[in-house]
Amino acid sequence: MGRKIVVIVRQDGLGSVAPADTQFGREMLDKFLHTLEGLSPKPHAICFYTGGVRLTCEGSPVLFSLQLLARMGVRMVTCTSCLEYYGLETKVAVGERGTMRDIVGLTLEADSVITV
């Protein structure tokens, strides 16, 4: 059995960028996700909280990448409390809703955690 890797996504782009470069950060996150598609091992799960929850919802610029990874067996878990905070409870388009307990449990069981 391979290593269990969990990716944590806490914002809607990769890295910290200036407001004028927000689109660039989103494009880089999309490249990050597409790169995961072709690598092995795949993450066991990708967990989304705070602003990152927007990425699993309708209209997300990376929705296609996330759906493809989900079809490849990567578990997608989106924080329910964060969805409620942003008013997105009915907009999730990929993966499952989970509690912070679910997300913390996945990270504690992981061999490696990557935060983006």
pLDDT tens for residues 52-105?
999 999 999 999 999 999 999 999 999 999 999 999 999 999 999 999 999 999
Mean predicted lDDT score pLDDT of the chain: 94
**What is the pTM for the complete model shown?**
0.93
* Helix H or strand E segment including 112: strand 112-115
Q: CA-to-CA distance for 40 and 37, rounded, in angstroms?
A: 8
Other CB atoms within a 10 A radius of the CB of residue 45 amount to: 23
The average pLDDT across 8-37 equals: 90
Burial of 78 (0-12, 13-18, 19+ CB in 10 A): buried
> How far apart, in whole angstroms, are the C-alpha atoms of residue 4 and residue 70?
16
Q: Are 98 and 11 in contact (CB under 8 A)?
A: no
Assigned superfamily of 5-115? DsrEFH-like (3.40.1260.10)
Residue 13 pLDDT class (50, 70, 90 cuts): confident
From the CB of residue 32, how many other CB atoms can be counted at a distance below 10 Å? 18
Structure tokens at 12: 């809607």
